[in-house]
Structure 1
Amino acid sequence: MSATAVVTGLSVVAPNGLGAEEYWAATLAGRSGIGEIERYDASRYPSRFAGQVRGFDPAEHLPGRLIPQTDQVTRFALAAADWAVEDAGVDLGSLDPLEVGVATANASGGFEFTQHEVQKLWTLGPQHVSAYQCFAWFYAVNTGQISIRNNLRGASSALVAEQAAGLDALGHARRLLRKGVRLVVAGGVEAPLNPYALVSQISHGLLSRARSAETAYRPFDPEADGYVPGEGGALLVVESADSAEGRGARQRYGEIVGYASGFDPRPGSGRPPALRRVVELALADAGVRPDEVDVVFADAAGVPEADRAEAEVLAEVFGPRGVPVTAPKTMTGRLLAGGPPVDVVAALLALRDQVVPPTVGTTVPDDLPIDLVTGAPREAVLRTALILARGFGGFNSALVVRR
């Protein structure tokens, strides 16, 4: 079986759109899904803006019996898996279930479900805690529930490396194909916006404390003061080229041709961060020279020191302002492990439509050596895209996709 990993199905659950095409239309139009938190009073929190998914009714997408068993993150994941499989035009029931796997990334688990059950524990007692709590909170639950719902019994995984794991899941999917798996549903989804989850993120001091939604998340801007959290993510159908050809797949959005990951050395070690090395390894894995990369989807931390470090790595690898750079996550917030797969979807659709989506709300200082696409989409000849992700604690990952 061919080891070539092709993407044949896409799905997105994002603050600015449900479904890949709705998300893409909003992104090209510069429509942001970031606003004040609406589900509870967040006025006393130092960070009160988020990218919230709107218009998602679980009852429209899932059997009623599943809803009380699952956190919102798993409801997103199950719906996204259905959409990706539908987009791929694949009948999973016609495949050997041992040849189909699932690889999802998640950093926060079922935070909202857990908060509700813990509240029951301390106010009503242990007999009132749902039996479903034993798995609904778990970061691996999305992989498990997608597998069960679709009878997928092939090699499956759950990856945890904060945001970087969103790319790790897709890199791992390619690895599974090389081991003989035929098709993998892969990506990441998150829902970390309830009070319990928000406070957990506030504690590390990287969340934006801006007082308006328009200025809350502006990576690479001299006034940047952190990121905006968000919920959602993306799942993709990744399969071998032989599988896609054999079943007459109706589309191939692109190939996953390169991937690498690495971990930063401990602070004070004197060794450089791993991002440049990870970028170079991913390009080498893809057999792609720096001058053959047509667009970079940046990690875009929204933290000045981290943004400058990323910009300097890109200048070192591609030359100062040597490649167009974009960060459409400024319209969704930082979705933890769900964000990088959304960037991969955006990259594949950018390659399809030959256009670089914009980074909104950001002004780049003259001394920052990157060509950041701002304001409006930029038409360009695109064949190869690089997607970057860094996770809190030192994780770094890079993925290369080609049209």
Structure 2
Amino acid sequence: MTPAKLVLEDGSVFPGQSFGAAGEVTGEVVFNTSMTGYQEILTDPSYHGQIVTMTYPEIGNYGVNEIDVEHRVPSLSGFIVRELSRIHSNYRASGDLDTYLKKHNVIALSGIDTRSLVRHIRTAGAMRGILSTTDADNASLIAKAKAAPSLVGRDLVREVMSKSVTSWDEKLDDWTACEIGAAVDSGGGTHVVCMDFGMKWNIPRHFASRGYKVTIVPGDTTAAEIMKLSPDGVFLSNGPGDPEPLDYAIKTISELLGKTPIFGICLGHQLLSLACGAKTFKLKFGHRGANQPVMDLTTGKVEITTQNHGFAVDADSLPADLEITHRNLNDDTVAGVRHKTHPAFGVQYHPEAAAGPHDSHYLFDRFQDLLTAAAV
């Protein structure tokens, strides 16, 4: 393997070995605590602009396949692991991780002390960094890391969202649909329009598996254009980066409130909250992993959730017509909100999982209930 380095803007240096593509890339360095699901993480558009570190020590042991992708191509800036598995073994595998990353021009690093890196990020906070296989000079790399753009204030959504209106009919695979009970046609021809801010594909798979007609529109589509599609409900997708610069999306959502049921996930939840008058803030190191505990305040139940976000809704800024429905039990941040008078709600995590536990799939039932009530 070729020598390579991760260098952070604060001067921290982590030498290791390169795999995947060769070259140099900058991004915000973050970590994910999932034990599995690296292919879904690689292809999640919410990671656009970030260098992702996996805390699980060995990655790549089950290879890659064409089924578990969550978008057309990987969107993240770079990938870091403690150890890259030299072999892969899984009946679904169609290739190995190293070759997959080379194919999609993703620079990756192995052989570093990921535990040390993660502890540093938890203490100092997520920060800009650079992965390089071409520059070995620490001073040069530190300067490049410091010069890299921050995620705060940037509109990353326009770089990953769909560019045209499309229909979606792909459903969950038989195993997943059977396991979560979403294969039953409960939509009755219901039409859901999904605003794509960088949407994971398992979300429209859930909707299609319920019998919905699913239309995907770019995240900058106006409320008037959406209403011309005659939706029975509107979904607000996940996506990368800071929600506050997305004034076009916030305006659209504010105009849709009260006209149709709305369900938001992750960035969509943040945008819904902003459209109602709340504020957001950047977390110190974010929530990323398939093992994040959340309490549903309406039932008192605790669910283990999949999360991927670096910003959160400020609880103290919530207007009177929004109420908190879920709390993150690690730090008590807002994990879900509901509008008190309009049929609209959002959660800060991913009930569609992929990869992750299925504790939260009931939220699709709650959206179904809103759609049914609105149709009466």
TM-score range, shorter chain: 0.3 to 0.5
Q: Structure 2 length normalisation: TM-score?
A: 0.32
Work out which structure has the larger RCO, using CA pairs closer than 8 Å and 6 or more positions apart in sequence. Answer: 1
Structure with greater helix percent: 1
Structure with greater strand percent: 2
